[in-house]
């Protein structure tokens, strides 16, 4: 059978021999790069990437530690009113890692019980989200925005400052429930703590969104620095307050050991932890016809642990007739 494929000629054969099938392309820097090959490793760039990864990991761990510290000091210990507890740093980090989930859970549960609360939260959060999407910051080499846009950004910056001041004022002046507000046999006191945690969560999210919005608006450097400092401070304070409220809610709903010290006949007692002096902190519910919730710190002794219960379950248990 005759060969029907035409001969491309000597010129085509030479081009084929010189070309391995990969066409040279130009990258963003204008250098010729062989398509299909990898660029040579850049030690400086690899070092920067490792530094970014290390810094991000360190910042995440430090953030969880700070959230856990705020949850324990401003939340749990403030609610109990028994002073400081002795906690390992690992436990504080674990507590901080649980705070974002507890915040979102409190917001969801409060919205299920009261849909208007969720609607109000969305009404507060949607405007800054829309502003973040629409705003364009000043960039070198890019045409400056119109004068109307600069004026609108200045007005928005003033509104951000006013909103941050209001957020801090409201969160710091909110009266937060303590153990003295507990009503045995009811659970309305826990709903009040959950509502406060949900409100603090909305305030923290709003403050964070406003801080991001400041750095997206076309403001001069001095204005961005001033307003940004105020916004970041408000976001930190609101987030710390939300961590304290969420820490209290998480502490009350977490299972704790039911302890029965030797010779103890006083009712249900839960182990809360250890004090710096080496004592065991407990919260007890008496077996009287009118039960009382008490707190005590006693020496660590031989105890029996028949099971686990949460403080919310102990308090909300019905009063026997």
CA distance 68 to 66: 5
Query: Is 321 within a domain?
Result: no
Q: Kindly state the average pLDDT of the residues 148-168.
A: 90
> Which of 18-27, 131-140, 217-226 has the highest average model confidence (pLDDT)?
217-226
For residues 256 and 282, is the Cβ–Cβ distance under 8 A?
Answer: no
Q: State whether 94 and 126 are in the same domain.
A: yes
Quick check: 247 pLDDT over 90?
A: yes
| Average pLDDT taken over every residue of the chain | 81
pLDDT at residue 258, rounded to an integer: 85
Query: Is 208 within a domain?
Result: yes
Name the band, by pLDDT with cuts 50, 70 and 90, for residue 17: very low
pLDDT at residue 248, rounded to an integer: 93
Q: Kindly state the average pLDDT of the residues 111-115.
A: 88
Residue-range definition of the domain harbouring residue 302: 255-316
Q: State whether 235 and 169 are in the same domain.
A: yes
For residues 64 and 96, is the Cβ–Cβ distance under 8 A?
Answer: yes
Tell me how far apart the terminal alpha carbons of the chain are, to the nearest angstrom: 107
pTM, entire model:
0.79
Q: Kindly state the average pLDDT of the residues 70-98.
A: 89
Q: Which tens digit of pLDDT belongs to each residue from 226-239?
A: 999 999 999 999 99
Q: State whether 87 and 213 are in the same domain.
A: yes
Q: Which of 213, 228, 253 is the last residue of a domain?
A: 253
């Amino acid at each position: 059978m005759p060969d029907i494929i035409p001969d491309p000629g000597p010129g085509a054969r030479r081009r084929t021999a010189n070309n391995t099938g990969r066409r040279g392309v130009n990258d963003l820097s204008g250098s010729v790069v062989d398509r299909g090959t990898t660029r040579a490793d850049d030690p400086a760039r690899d070092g920067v990437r490792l530094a970014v990864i290390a810094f991000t990991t360190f910042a995440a761990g430090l953030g969880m530690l700070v959230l856990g510290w705020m949850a324990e000091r401003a939340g749990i210990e403030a609610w109990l009113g028994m002073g400081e507890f002795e906690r390992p740093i690992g436990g504080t980090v674990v507590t901080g890692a649980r705070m974002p989930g507890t915040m979102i859970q409190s917001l969801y549960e409060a919205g299920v019980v009261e849909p208007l609360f969720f609607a109000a939260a969305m009404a507060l959060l949607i405007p800054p989200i829309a502003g973040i999407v629409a705003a364009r910051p000043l960039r070198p080499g890019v045409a400056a925005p119109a004068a109307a846009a600069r004026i609108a950004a200045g007005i928005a910056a003033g509104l951000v400052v006013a909103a941050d001041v209001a957020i801090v004022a409201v969160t710091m002046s909110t009266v937060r429930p303590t153990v003295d507000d507990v009503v045995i046999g009811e659970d309305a006191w826990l709903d009040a703590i959950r509502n406060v945690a949900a409100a603090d969560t909305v305030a923290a999210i709003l403050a964070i969104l406003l801080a991001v919005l400041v750095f997206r608006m076309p403001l001069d450097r001095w204005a961005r620095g001033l307003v940004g400092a105020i916004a970041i401070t408000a976001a930190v304070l609101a987030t710390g307050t939300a961590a304290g409220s969420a820490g209290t809610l998480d502490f009350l709903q977490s299972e704790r050991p039911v302890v029965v010290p030797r010779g103890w006949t006083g009712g249900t007692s839960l182990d809360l932890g250890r004090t710096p002096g080496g004592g065991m902190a407990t919260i007890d519910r008496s077996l009287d016809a009118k039960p009382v919730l008490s707190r005590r710190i006693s020496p660590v002794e031989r105890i029996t642990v028949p099971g686990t219960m949460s403080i919310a379950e102990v308090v909300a248990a019905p009063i026997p007739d």
